[in-house]
Amino acid sequence: MASEFELINFLFEPLSRGLSPNEIGIGDDGAVLNVPENHQLVVVTDTLVSGVHFPENTAAYDVAWKAVAVNLSDLAAMGAQPGFYSLALTIPENNQVWLNGFAKGLEDIGSFYQIPLVGGDTTNGPLTITVTMQGWVSTGKAIRRSGAKEGDLVCVTNYIGNGALGLMVALNTLPESVKGLISEADSQYLLDALNLPQPQLDLSSSLKEFANSAIDISDGLLADLGHILEESNKLIAPKDGKVLGAQINLEFIPLSNAARIYIENTGHWPAILAGGDDYQLCFTIAPDKLNLAQEMSGKLGVKITAIGKVVSLDRVNESSSTSNKPSLMDITLLSHGKKIDVGEAKGYMHF
Ligand SMILES: Nc1ncnc2c1ncn2[C@@H]1O[C@H](COP(=O)(O)OP(=O)(O)O)[C@@H](O)[C@H]1O
Ligand SMILES: Cc1ncc(C[n+]2csc(CCOP(=O)(O)OP(=O)(O)O)c2C)c(N)n1
Ligand SMILES: [Mg+2]
């Protein structure tokens, strides 16, 4: 059986290819890396815990892909390009077959996005993967959560709800009425959305041309849009007791074929709006920039849909909040112009 050091040498060292000759990756006490001139370093980190972030029987390849992809998704939301990453890996046993699959997942996503693995730590314990990733953005050009303005359109990339439905497929909890209507290919498509998310990195460099604020959707559309509103409210001087909220039109939410079948049969919007695991971007944009955004994204094969707008609420009468912090009640859901209540739609929370 390979020792910890052999394991690192055989599996992980090859993944550090791609560094410049004057950079140091795996093998020393620390990595030494260059940042391009006139750029700022952007640092993100996310942890995946078995049974919490992915079903326990998820393939090792997919676990590795997702651990890297969710960090790439955070960089995309900042308008940043990825540079390199490190990996803190906690494994319950030294299982060569599992580790080979895991390393292959890292190799594939690493070579696809050209990101070397530059270091990490390997420990024994319940399966937990933490990736820390560094990227960069032209100085002063990072996109914040906090830039939303009254009148902005709220946009999302591609489709919403596929990851959450993928989890239902994985856990076999899709309602019987829906199961029979979804094809094998659609089931696989949903599983792939859950296990092999595709971060919106291609769009991230153009995003700064048009977006006032952005976030990636990990906890659920409503919760993550709530973060945009919360952070944006911190930056605007509250005028006349006003607070930012949003109006979202349900009929505009972009749904895949499978998600449409799910909604038509269950009408259960919280799964789509608050299930999470989307790894799409939600951003706000001045209305006159929508055409430019759709033109740029169209060239990249990314669909951008305006699903609603940022509005100014009267804090005392209309908003549920008593502070600048909006609650989900400050996001109004409309169906064909009529206000509707979709029930519990808080988004994923660990505690
Ligand atoms: N344990 C922690 N220590 C320091 N900062 C943290 C910790 N957990 C989260 N944060 C920070 O809080 C902010 C929000 O985190 P999170 O909700 O996890 O965002 P995301 O959904 O983009 O991963 C980020 O700036 C993140 O770096
Ligand atoms: C087994 C399993 N249960 C539940 C989920 C759903 N889920 C778990 S964590 C999470 C939200 C994202 O995780 P978090 O740690 O909050 O990531 P961050 O927002 O920091 O990127 C979701 C939707 C899942 N993916 N797998
Ligand atoms: Mg996080």
Q: Which atom of ligand 2 is nearest to the CA of 70?
A: 21
Q: Based on the domain organization, do 134 and 165 belong to the same domain? A: no
Q: Based on the domain organization, do 80 and 154 belong to the same domain? A: no
Query: Residue 36: how many CB atoms within 10 A of its CB?
Result: 11
| Predicted local confidence at residue 308, as pLDDT | 98
Query: If you measure from the C-alpha of residue 46 to the centroid of ligand 1, how many angstroms do you get, rounded to a whole number?
Result: 8
Which of 105, 138, 171 is the last residue before a domain boundary?
138
Query: If you measure from the C-alpha of residue 22 to the centroid of ligand 3, how many angstroms do you get, rounded to a whole number?
Result: 31
Q: Could you give the C-alpha distances from 95 to 2, 49, 65, 127, 199, in angstroms and in order?
A: 9, 18, 18, 12, 29
Q: Based on the domain organization, do 331 and 277 belong to the same domain? A: yes
Q: Based on the domain organization, do 31 and 166 belong to the same domain? A: no
Q: Which ligand is closest to the CA of 226, given by its number?
A: 1
**Cross-strand bridge partners of residue 306:** 155
Q: Based on the domain organization, do 133 and 218 belong to the same domain? A: no
| Predicted local confidence at residue 9, as pLDDT | 72
* Mean pLDDT, contiguous 10-residue spans, the chain (351 residues): 70 92 93 96 98 98 98 98 97 94 97 96 96 97 96 98 98 95 97 98 92 98 96 81 93 98 96 97 98 96 98 74 57 93 79 86
Residue 54 Cβ contacting ligand 2 at under 6 Å: yes
Residue 102 Cβ contacting ligand 2 at under 6 Å: no
Nearest CA owner, ligand 2 atom 5: 53
Which of 138, 153, 168 is the last residue before a domain boundary?
138
Domain that holds residue 58: 4-138
Relative to beta strand 153-157, strand 81-91 is unpaired
| Residue 303: inside a domain | yes
Q: Based on the domain organization, do 223 and 125 belong to the same domain? A: no
What CATH number has the domain bearing residue 61?
Answer: 3.30.1330.10
Q: Based on the domain organization, do 161 and 66 belong to the same domain? A: no
| Residue 94: inside a domain | yes
Residue 74 Cβ contacting ligand 1 at under 6 Å: yes
CA dist 211 and 152 (Å) reads: 9
| Residue 300: inside a domain | yes
Q: Based on the domain organization, do 88 and 179 belong to the same domain? A: no
Total structural domains in the chain?
2
| Predicted local confidence at residue 186, as pLDDT | 97
Which of 138, 168, 198 is the last residue before a domain boundary?
138
| Residue 202: inside a domain | yes
Q: Based on the domain organization, do 12 and 83 belong to the same domain? A: yes
| Residue 163: inside a domain | yes
Q: Based on the domain organization, do 229 and 321 belong to the same domain? A: yes
Q: What is the 3-state secondary structure (H, E, C) of 238-269?
A: CCCCEEEEEEEEHHHCCCCHHHHHHHHHHCCH
Annotation-wise, does 218 bind a ligand? yes
Query: If you measure from the C-alpha of residue 194 to the centroid of ligand 2, how many angstroms do you get, rounded to a whole number?
Result: 10
Nearest CA owner, ligand 1 atom 5: 45
Residue 276 Cβ contacting ligand 2 at under 6 Å: yes
Annotation-wise, does 29 bind a ligand? yes
CA dist 324 and 326 (Å) reads: 6
Q: Based on the domain organization, do 91 and 154 belong to the same domain? A: no
Q: Which atom of ligand 1 is nearest to the CA of 74?
A: 22
What CATH number has the domain bearing residue 151?
Answer: 3.90.650.10
What distance separates the 2 farthest-apart alpha carbons in the chain?
68
| Residue 64: inside a domain | yes
| Predicted local confidence at residue 114, as pLDDT | 96
Q: Which atom of ligand 2 is nearest to the CA of 277?
A: 23
Q: Based on the domain organization, do 295 and 183 belong to the same domain? A: yes
| Residue 278: inside a domain | yes
Tokens of residue 156, six digits: 């999302």
Q: Which atom of ligand 1 is nearest to the CA of 218?
A: 21
What torsion do the CA atoms of 100, 279, 121, 92 make, to the nearest 10 degrees? Answer: -60
CA dist 3 and 81 (Å) reads: 35
